[in-house]
Every structure is written in C-alpha cells, then in structure tokens.
Amino acid sequence: MIPNTYVAYFAPEILLTIWAMGLLLAEAFLSLSPRVVAAWALGGLAIAAIITLCLDSTPILFWGGVSKWDGAAKFFHLFFLVVAALVIWMGDEVQEPVPHGGGEFVVLPLFTTAGLMLLASANDFILLFIALELVTISFYILVAYHRRSLVALEAGVKYLILGGLSSAFLVMGVAYIFGLTGCTRFDLIGARLHDQPLPPGVAFGLLLVITGIGFKIAMVPFQSWAPDVYEGAPNSITAFLSVGSKAGGFIILMRVVLGLFNTQAAAAIWIPVLSVGAIASLLLGNLAAIPQRNLKRMLGYSSIGHTGFILVAIVGAATVLTGKVLPFNNDAQTGQTAVMVYLVTYLLATFTAFIVLAVLERRLPGLEIHHLAGLSQRSPLLSAALALSLVSMAGVPPLSGFIAKMMVILVAWNRGLYTLLGFTIFAAVAALYYYLGPIKAMYWSEPLDETPIRVNRVTSAVLIVLIFLLLLTGFWANSMAPLINGATLAQSSASATTTVALVQH
Amino acid sequence: MNFSPLLLLLLAPLIAIVFILLKAPAQMTAGIAALFNLALSIGLLFIYPAAQGGYEWEMNVPWVNLPGLPPINLHVGVDGISLPLVFLTAIVTFAAVAISPGFIRRTSEYYCYLLLMSLGAMGAFISLDLFFFFIFHEFALIPTFLLIGIWGAQNRQFASFQVTIYLMAGSLILLAGLIALVMALPAPARTFDIVALQAYVTVHPIAPAAQDVIFFLLLIGFGILVGLFPFHSWAPPGYASAPPATAMLHAGILKKFAIYGMIRIAIPMLHDGFETCLPLILTLLSLNFLYAGFVTLAQKELPTMIGFSSVMHMGYLFLGIACWNIIGVTGAVVLMVGHGLSAALLFGLSGEITHRSGENRFAELGGLAQRAPLLAVLFSFASMASMGVPGLANFAGELMVFFGSITAKLWIPIMSEGHGIPGAIFTVIAIYGTVLTAIFQLRAIKHVFYGAMPARYDPHAASGETLASPGMTDVSTLAENVPYILLILASLIIGFMPFLLIHIVEPSVSLLPFMPSLR
C-alpha cells in the first residue's frame, strides 16, 4: 500500500520520467528544435529541484520499504540535478549543435538523472538494479551518440560490454545474498545478519556486488573502460559519467557497505577489499595519468585516482573498523562528510574542465596537451578556468579540491588508517606533476596560432560562476554547509526495531 | 567583530591585483601596494606595545563549521615574533617589485604573481589559525611555478617542476602533521585555532609517543620547505633558475615560514617530541653547515652559489631554535630578518650582474668593478651582511644564536652513562660556518669584480670583435639603486641598533611555553 503522502518523496523521479517521455513525443510530433527541447528539459530539472528542496531530510522508509529518504538521499538528489542541468546545458550550448531531430541527446540525461535519483534513495536490491539499468542503458546511447565516429563507437562498445558485465556481477551477487537471507530489502537483510557470523555465500555475494559497483566508480581493477570511454564520448557525457555515474556508484556503495553490511563480520571482508582497491586506484590512476598526452584520457586516469581518494574516506567512514587500534575518537560523521565534500569539489572542478574542453574541441585541431600551447594569450578566461580546475583537482589551496584532500587526510588520521594515509599523500604529490603539464603548455609555450578564441556570453558567465565557486568553497568551506549539514545516511541495520516501526508508520 | 588593521596588509595586494587586471600600469600599482604595506608594517612596529609581548590587533571570526570537521576560525593577530617577519615581507616585496624590469613580457601577469607570492607569505605570518597558516603559504606555490616557468633563466622547465613538486610533497607531509596535531586532542577540544590549541596543550599535553610521531612529521614537512639537509636539493637550482624577484621573495620570506612554524607550533606544542628529535635536528643542521657549506665553496656559477649559501644559512636559524632559550630564539628571529634582507640583496644583485653581463660563470667574469663600481659596492655590502660582519643585521642575530647555543648546554647522548657529544661543538661548527661564508663570498667578489676583465665587457678595447654584450653597465639611475640601498639601510639600522628589534622580539619569545626564564 502506498500512502499518498509519500508520493512527494518520489515526485522528482516521477516528474522527470514523465517530463522526458513527453518531451520525446513532443519533439517527434511537433518537430521542436533541440534548443527548445533543452530549455524545457532544464525547466523540468528546475521543478524537480524545487520539489526536492521542499522535502525535509527526516529519515523515512516508503513505498513498502523499498525506498528510503534521508539526508544523504536529499544531498544526492540535488547533486544529480545540478549535474544533469550542466550536462544538458553543455550538450545544447557548448558542444557541436545537436542536429534537428536529435533532441534525445538532451532528453536522455533526464532519464539517467531519474535513475540516479532512484539509486540515491534505494533501500532494496531490486529497485537498485532497476535504477542502475535505467542509468546504464541511457548511457549506452549517450556515449556512442556520434555514431559515425570510430572513437565514439569504440567507446560505446566498450562501455556496453563492460556495463553489461558489471550488471551481471551485481545481479549474481544480489542472487547470492537473496538466496541466503531470503530478502532483498537492505534493512531486513541487515536485521538478519545483525550479530551473526557472516554466511560464506553472503560474503561472496557482497564481493560480487562490490565488483559490480567497482565498475561504476572505476575502481582498480575494474577501471579499464574509463580512459577509452572518456576519450570517445562527447564531452558533456564524459563529464556526466565522470561525476554523475561515479557519484551514483558511491551512494550505493555507501548504502551497501556503510548501511547494510556495517557489522564486524562483514567489515572484515569489505574493509580490506576497499582498502586494496583504494591503494590500487590511487597508484594506477595517478601514475598512469603521467604519460598521457590526450587531455580527456588524462582526466580519465585522474578520475580513477579520485575514486581512490574517495574510497579512503569511505573506509574511514566505517563505524566498525576491525583489527585496528583506534587512537582517536570514533565518529563516522567525518568520513561521510568527507565523501560529500569530495564529490561537490570534484563536480565543480570536473565540469569546469570539461566545459573548457568542449569549447576547445571545436576550435583546436585536437585535445592533446601540446595543442593547448599559448592558450593563455588566446583566451585568458579559458586557460584560467582550466588551470584552476586542474589545480583544484590536484588539491592545492585555496581551491576547493584542497578542502576535499584535507578532509580525506583528516579522516585517515582520525581512524588510524596510516597505510592509506601514506598512499594518499604519495598519490597527491604524483598527481600534481601531470596536472601541471597542461598549465605549462597554456602559460609558457608560445602559441602556434595567435587568433584569440572567443567564448560566447553564457559560457563565459557559467565559467566565471564555476571559478568563483571553486575559490569560494575552497576558501570558505562553510558555503557548502547548507548542502552538507545533515546529509548523512540514516543508520537502519543496527536498529532493526526502529526500521520496522518506520515501515508500519 | 572589530576590523583588524592587519587585514589591510592582505587587502592592499589584492586591490592592486584587481587594478592590474583592469589594465592599470602594473609595476606602478604593485609598487604602490608594496609601499603601502611597508609603511603600514613600519607603523605597526612602532606602535606595537612591546613590553607585554602578547598578540595585538587580533580578530577572531568563526569561519568553517562542518559536521565532523574541527572548527576553523579566521583568526589573525601578530606578536613580537611575527611582526618583524611582517615587516620583512613588506620590505622585501617592495624591493622585489622595484628591481623588476618594467618592460618584461606579459607584464601584468608577472606582477600579479609576485603580489600573490607576497600575499601568501604575509597571510601565513599574520594567521593564528592552522588552516589559514597553511593555505596562505600554499598560495605561493602555483605563482612560484609560473614565475620560474615563464620568466626563469636556464633550465627553468626542470627547476620549476622540481621546486613545485618538492614543495607540494613537503606541504602535504606538513598538512598531515598539522592534522595529526589537531586530531590528537579529544573531540570536543579539537580546533584549528593556534591560540586555543596552545592553551589546551599546555594544560593537557599530548601523549609523548604521539608527540614524537607528530613532531617528526612536522620536522620533515617544515624541513623540506626550508631546505634542511638532506631536503635542500630543490633550492639551489630553483633559485638559480628563478627570476631574481622570485628568488628574493622565496629565499627571503617564504622559507622563513618553516622556521616560524617551528617556533610557533611544533616546538611549543610538541615539546617532548622536540626533545626526542633534538639530536636529529642538531645532526642535520650541522650537515647544513658542513655539507652545504663545502658544496657552496665548489660552485662555479654565481646564482647557484648564492642558492647553496642560503641553504647553508638555514643552519643558524635551526641552531637558534634548537637551543630553545630566550637569547637563542630571539637571535633566530633577528637573524630571520637579517638573512631575509641579505638573501634578497644577494639574489637581486646576482640577477643584476647576470643580466647586465650576460654571464653567470665565475670563470668568464672578472674586473667588473671598473665598469660597474656602484654594483660592486652594493654587492660587497650584501656579502658582508651575509658573512655576519658587525654592523649589519646578520651579526646581531648570529651572535645571539652563538650565545644561545653555548648557554643551552645542548648534549647529544651517544651511549648511556653520560657519554655523548657536548653541544658546544655545534657552536664551533656554526662559527666555522661564518668562516666558510667569508671564503665563498670573498671569492665571489674577487671573481666577479676584480682581476682581469674579459675584453668583451670593454667597448673601447673590443673594437673589431663582435660583442657578446654591449659592454657592461652599472646600476645608474636612482630607481635602480633605491631598492638595494633600502635593504642595506634596514640591515645597517638593525645591525647598529639591534635593541630596536630585540625589545620587540624578546618579550614575546619569553612568553613561549617551555622557555627557560632568564630573569
């Protein structure tokens, strides 16, 4: 039974899905231009954002318990809406114009967003899988959108095959967990497993689920698709994958490992697995990015590195740390805050970089680093925006990436994760080297072609706002407080009784 | 919330940057901002109530309060230790802006980056919050990278990457140490505010084992930033490649950040850790004297020699703080100012020589005093300051450090039962360091200004030959001279009347925790 009042928590997803279907039909029958479709799509996102903002973040289970609303769900809903707005705007305004009749390029992100938002509040493996498929299937189309380009096709095929594979892993894992516990709802599984030794089958299922999620967040060793797909996909979609899809992966990872498998026995499995994944991602992502000459590939590898940093924060957010002496106090809050702060700063830096790349792709012969030579003389705004976003990703203050790195180091100290801390610092230093490469090209090298690159007004304005936010969130991190405060996972597994009470409510 | 005049020191360069971006004449605007800061900092030196030695012009605003993150405050204020460094920052910035060529390519960018570097140093010295203390210093990282990369001399590509990555590594280790310090406190007491942290740690010291680890991290982090042996290898090539103004700002001011951090944070808050690490510090600093000193002797190029000499002189500063008594630490602060002035002079003048003669190898230089007598006088003054000749600021500082290190009764235990190295040996090594300095500085003067002049510097003799450079010119106009004369004047005033500075520094030093009382 669905109590009427709870529809509100689902309204953004429902609205976006209906809106997107309506737009697709309208585009087909009224032959709207892609510009108009994009404008309507942005309008839909705005309404969904207003609805989300009106909801408070009191934890609640609804729709028979398959979905859960809490601070983290609200944070991620807003996060995905912002991402989608930037993606649709980029697709329409910054990149090559969408051909008439190709409006699905600006409409499909709405479906993806609805899927991501469902993911953010999923409390059931079935819903999680459906949401994930909604996200992935729309991405299959978007990644290979330029279907006449070979690189795009290669990217599309890679993403399709590996995406399918990761879904298969996930479903297999869910099957094991369901088979041994008899339920798919997170809170019920948590209650079953509570203070019991973990059955080996469930442990195996957990590993398979982590593998499936590992593909989404590009965790080593499941990262191999990222650089190729990043290079081949249109810029807006690369940014979408890099921020939206990754954040989607992280929210499920948090729901699964910090919510449902937050027990001593399970933590003994996932903490080492994620720690090794974090170290491998930090090393491979940041070291393999060094020899890259193509900017999009470089950002692909760097995004693997960022996965490593965020994983350190997730391991640090575990309330049960096994086999570790906790020298300092024991608050899980810091770890979750670190994840959210990291994602916000990553969103700002990544979109700044990809908007610049999207502008440049149409003006430069290619996106190799040497093509950037002398950009600072050709367009001070574009070079400043790209430089600041790269420096922010490198974690240099006073840009916002520094706050994120600082939070990760803080979490690692707080929880006594000294090995992870050492690798974090090593990776951050190594990362600076390749982030400086494009800056060197833009600011030192002499331009081959001196013609100034003009940027239209709206794009300039968006870039200036993003630069401002990069500096603001770095220098005054409290500007993120309205988003971050209260944005935590509601703990349910440890207290099954309250969960049941919530369901009956 | 009261407005602190210290914020003006940060606002002036920021406003100047905005004006420069709006196409105001760059050098003039930057110079005006620097002059304003210089005047303000001198004014503050005079009205600072020195007798109390506490923080003055404090401003404390809650700044960041995120769940799970200890509170960060925007807390500024200066005392007798940081105020002289604020003055040093202002005067060196002014000199660096004034000696920069007005016709350099991409002028406005150049001056913006210089101002950002200086802003970073200034912000770090007036911050009383670990977060701001750290991020202001890091402000300078990217401008330094760009300054060396765009306007640097030979080998700039390698040097800029090496300096930036080395300093980033040092900064991150330092950050890990600072966070460890904050997180070592129980959750409710955690804060980034230096004053609050100090107050808490004085009453509830951190466990000695944790102190050792955290102090070691801070020592490595600060050590990399200051060029403590064996972490000095970034400095000489970096300074040799950097444009003179950048080397002046970095060697003169930004490096002092690390020594200041040791005095303000590491040693008072982690005193047990300091005592554990003391033998290590003493060993490394004597290697700074001996290793870097002899390496300096072997240099064949002027800028690299000055780079190594500035590494070597960090030994005195470390010795001064290692004694941790009033005379030693006061000496270290005075010497920071003195060394800042002399390093700025040497880097600026070596830039003049290299630029005007087109040559930086000793073997190819010589006899330039004939063509550039004024430059020779200025360079000799700078060398004397660096050697610690009485009457210049370095002498006052070095002498106090020597006295401090003798009275501190330092002792490195080697085995149990009282065997060990007496600390006086470090005083001897430090005094030997002044001898080494005299050797290489005098040799530099001889090689550059005396002896036979290569014919290409003499337009009259070189008739018929193609000239490598159109002779050699002297620093002739007043505008070219003023920055150097200003720095020498400051060094002379402090050298002849060190009490002017000491009476500001000493009360604040005597308030530092664990400071043995003299009275």
Phi first, then psi: what are they for B64, rounded to 5°? -130, 130
Neighbouring residues of B81: CB distance < 8 A, sequence distance ≥ 6? B260, B263, B264, B333, B505, B508, B509
User: Residues A30-53: what's their mean pLDDT?
Assistant: 91
Cβ contacts below 8 Å, chain A against chain B, sum to: 104
| pLDDT bucket at B34, cuts 50 / 70 / 90 | very high
Domain ranges of chain B: 6-511
- pLDDT attached to residue B415: 63
User: Residues A392-401: what's their mean pLDDT?
Assistant: 91
- pLDDT attached to residue B459: 63
User: How far is residue B24's CA from residue B457's CA, in Å, rounded to a whole number?
Assistant: 38
* pLDDT tens-place string over residues B38-82: 999 999 999 998 888 889 899 999 998 888 788 899 999 999 999
- pLDDT attached to residue B454: 79
Give the residues across from B76 on adjacent strands: B59, B127
Out of B68, B142, B183, name the one closest to residue A391 (CB).
Answer: B142
How does DSSP assign B245-280, residue by residue? Answer: HHHHHIIIIITHHHHHHIIIIIHHHTHHHHHHHHHH
- Output the CA torsion sign for A441, A444, A449, A451: positive
Task: Give CA B38 to chain center in angstroms.
Answer: 17
User: How far is residue A288's CA from residue A182's CA, in Å, rounded to a whole number?
Assistant: 43
Q: CB distance B176–A341 less than 8 Å?
A: no
User: How far is residue B353's CA from residue B99's CA, in Å, rounded to a whole number?
Assistant: 13
All residues of chain B having their beta carbon less than 8 Å from the beta carbon of residue A488 are 67
Q: CB distance B138–A485 less than 8 Å?
A: no
User: Residues A46-53: what's their mean pLDDT?
Assistant: 93
Across all residues in chain B, what is the average pLDDT?
A: 89
User: How far is residue B302's CA from residue B353's CA, in Å, rounded to a whole number?
Assistant: 9
Q: CB distance A327–B173 less than 8 Å?
A: no
- Residue B225 contacts A where some CB pair is shorter than 8 Å: no
Instruction: Indicate the burial class of A306 (C-beta count within 10 angstroms; 0-12, 13-18, 19 or more).
Output: buried
- Residue B179 contacts A where some CB pair is shorter than 8 Å: yes
- pLDDT attached to residue A374: 87
Across all residues in chain A, what is the average pLDDT?
A: 88
User: How far is residue B402's CA from residue B433's CA, in Å, rounded to a whole number?
Assistant: 12
Q: What chain A residue is nearest to B150 in terms of C-alpha separation?
A: A444
All residues of chain A having their beta carbon less than 8 Å from the beta carbon of residue B187 are 328-329, 331
The first and second tokens of residue B434, run together, are 């002044």
- Residue B164 contacts A where some CB pair is shorter than 8 Å: yes
- pLDDT attached to residue A499: 43
User: How far is residue B248's CA from residue B343's CA, in Å, rounded to a whole number?
Assistant: 7
Per-residue b or e along B305-314, where b marks 16 or more CB atoms closer than 10 Å to that residue's CB = bbbbbbbbbb
- pLDDT attached to residue A500: 43
Q: Is the ipTM of this complex over 0.95?
A: no
User: Residues B228-244: what's their mean pLDDT?
Assistant: 89
User: How far is residue B363's CA from residue B360's CA, in Å, rounded to a whole number?
Assistant: 9
Domain ranges of chain A: 4-504
User: How far is residue A315's CA from residue B217's CA, in Å, rounded to a whole number?
Assistant: 23
Reported pTM: 0.92
Angle, alpha carbons B240-B151-B148 (nearest 5°): 50
Helix and strand element counts for chain B (H, E): 23, 4
* pLDDT tens-place string over residues A182-229: 889 988 888 888 777 888 999 999 999 999 999 999 998 999 899 999
- Residue B172 contacts A where some CB pair is shorter than 8 Å: yes
Residues B363 and B357 sit within 8 Å (Cβ to Cβ): no
- pLDDT attached to residue B119: 94
User: How far is residue A112's CA from residue A95's CA, in Å, rounded to a whole number?
Assistant: 20
Q: What is the 3-state secondary structure (H, E, C) of B318-350?
A: HHHHHHCCHHHHHHHHHHHHHHHHHHHHHHHHH
Q: What is the 3-state secondary structure (H, E, C) of B459-481?
A: CCCCCCCCCCCCCCCCCCCHHHH
3-state secondary structure of B71: coil
All residues of chain B having their beta carbon less than 8 Å from the beta carbon of residue A485 are 66-67
| pLDDT bucket at B1, cuts 50 / 70 / 90 | low
User: Residues B391-396: what's their mean pLDDT?
Assistant: 92
Q: CB distance B172–A410 less than 8 Å?
A: no
* Residue A3 clears pLDDT 60, i.e. is over it: no
Neighbouring residues of B203: CB distance < 8 A, sequence distance ≥ 6? none
Least confident of A195-199, A424-428, B155-159, B500-504: A195-199
* pLDDT tens-place string over residues A86-111: 999 998 888 887 777 778 888 999 99
All residues of chain B having their beta carbon less than 8 Å from the beta carbon of residue A402 are 135, 138
* Residue B170 clears pLDDT 80, i.e. is over it: yes
User: How far is residue A396's CA from residue A398's CA, in Å, rounded to a whole number?
Assistant: 6
Q: CB distance B67–A484 less than 8 Å?
A: yes
- Residue B64 contacts A where some CB pair is shorter than 8 Å: yes
* Residue B474 clears pLDDT 80, i.e. is over it: no
User: Residues B279-305: what's their mean pLDDT?
Assistant: 91
User: How far is residue A251's CA from residue A339's CA, in Å, rounded to a whole number?
Assistant: 9
Nearest to A373 by CA among A290, A450, A464: A450
User: How far is residue A106's CA from residue A20's CA, in Å, rounded to a whole number?
Assistant: 9
3-state secondary structure of A188: helix
- pLDDT attached to residue B67: 80
* pLDDT tens-place string over residues A485-498: 777 777 644 444 44
The more confidently predicted of residues B416 and B408 is B408
- pLDDT attached to residue B249: 94
Q: CB distance A429–B135 less than 8 Å?
A: no
Q: What chain B residue is nearest to A443 in terms of C-alpha separation?
A: B150
Computed on alpha carbons and rounded to an integer, the radius of gyration of chain A in Å comes to 22
- Residue B68 contacts A where some CB pair is shorter than 8 Å: yes
User: How far is residue A427's CA from residue A429's CA, in Å, rounded to a whole number?
Assistant: 5
* pLDDT tens-place string over residues B195-207: 999 999 999 999 9
Residues B232 and B288 sit within 8 Å (Cβ to Cβ): yes
User: Residues B471-495: what's their mean pLDDT?
Assistant: 85
Instruction: Indicate the burial class of A99 (C-beta count within 10 angstroms; 0-12, 13-18, 19 or more).
Output: exposed
- pLDDT attached to residue B418: 64
- pLDDT attached to residue A501: 42
The percent of chain B in helix, strand and coil, each rounded to the nearest 5, is 70, 5, 25
